[in-house]
A = this chain, B = another copy of it.
């Protein structure tokens, strides 16, 4: 059987996420699969390199609270219930792989900008998710805004 049973949609809560979510929703519906959604928040200490000791805990909590609220609003449009919404803090590729494994997902859907040049060298999230994924990965081509 080639249909999917559990689809994990990874989104960044940008405007482009809708294009990716539409595809994931349609695929899950066609396959009769359950649809989960994950949003990964990168810790501020990652973004700032972690070499300056600062206390980001208050800001981090606020970011997490807002992300949760946005993910909830987003998920409602696709009938994704609260227990299928995952907010995780960490590196996107690592956390997406971990949750995919936990859910025994057979497909991860992620957005891809298809950019050349620097992004190719640095590796996009789609690229990172592709490598080391234990399941299929659909990279949805999104138009840059």
**Chain A interface residues toward B at CB < 8 A:** 2-3, 22-23, 25-27, 30-31, 112, 114, 116, 120, 126-127, 130-141
B127 touches A133 (CB 8 A): no
A119 → chain B closest CB, angstroms: 8
Q: Name the residue of chain B whose CB is nearest to the CB of A1.
A: B26
Which residue of B2, B126, B139 is within 8 Å of A23 (Cβ)?
B2
Distance in angstroms from A98 CB to nearest chain B CB is: 15
Question: Cβ of A138 and Cβ of B141 under 8 Å apart?
Answer: no
**Is there contact, CB below 8 Å, between B131 and A114?**
yes
Instruction: Flag if A114 contacts B134 (CB, 8 Å).
Output: yes
Contacts of A137 in B (CB 8 A): 112, 138-139, 141
User: Chain A binding site: helix, strand, loop or mixed by DSSP?
Assistant: mixed
Stoichiometry (number of copies): 2
Contact residue among B26, B116, B132, B136 (Cβ-Cβ distance under 8 Å from A138): B136
| Closest B residue, CB atoms, query A112 | B130
Contacting residue for A133 out of B2, B23, B141, CB 8 A? B141
Tell me the minimal C-beta distance from A67 to chain B in angstroms: 25
CA distance A30 to B28 in the complex (A): 11
Give the residues in chain B near A26, CB-CB below 8 Å.
2-3
User: What is the CA–CA distance of A23 and B31 in the complex, to the nearest angstrom?
Assistant: 11
Counting from the closest, the 5 A-B pairs by CB-CB distance are A2-B26, A30-B30, A2-B22, A137-B139, A138-B138
Chain B min CB distance to A88 (Å): 21
